[in-house]
């Protein structure tokens, strides 16, 4: 599940200048709308992305926001996919094979991907 990799990421990167925030939210629509608006604003800024943002919500109400600097995203890549917990579980398990490091690096700033899962969970990935 996405919680396991996000929690390991949070524990491993708190000292690396990353932002990790977890809170309970009954309706995530406002948070996701804000994240989409921030991604649209970032898309107006030329140049390569400096940070990867991941917003994940599950039907229990847990909302996790993670902002990773791009140098850490590159460091976490294994075989072109993001391996964030060191145990072989990849971000691609949550988002399928839709997003690789190569995709991230050539995407530029802005909105990258949003997924609504069958169990009600949601994930939004953006570059800033």
* pLDDT of 19: 77
Number of domains in the chain: 1
DSSP string, 56-110: EE-TTSEEEEEEEEHHHHHHTEETTEE--SSSS--THHHHTTS--HHHHHHH-SE
| pLDDT at res. 37 | 95
pLDDT of residue 14: 47
The residue segments making up the domain with residue 100 are 2-127
Type and span of the H or E element at 122: strand 122-127
Residue numbers in the chain where pLDDT is lower than 50: 4-5, 7-8, 11, 13-15, 85-92, 96
Q: pTM for this one?
A: 0.75
């Amino acid at each position: 599940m996405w919680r396991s990799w996000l929690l390991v990421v949070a524990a491993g990167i708190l000292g690396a200048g990353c932002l990790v925030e977890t809170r309970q939210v009954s309706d995530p629509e406002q948070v996701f709308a804000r994240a989409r608006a921030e991604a649209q604003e970032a898309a107006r800024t030329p140049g390569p992305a400096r940070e990867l943002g991941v917003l994940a919500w599950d039907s229990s109400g847990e909302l996790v926001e993670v902002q990773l600097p791009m140098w850490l995203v590159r460091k976490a890549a294994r075989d072109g996919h993001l391996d964030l917990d060191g145990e072989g579980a990849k971000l691609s398990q949550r988002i399928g094979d839709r997003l690789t490091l190569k995709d991230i690096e050539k995407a530029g700033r802005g909105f990258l991907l949003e997924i609504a899962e069958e169990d009600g969970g949601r994930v939004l990935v953006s570059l800033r």
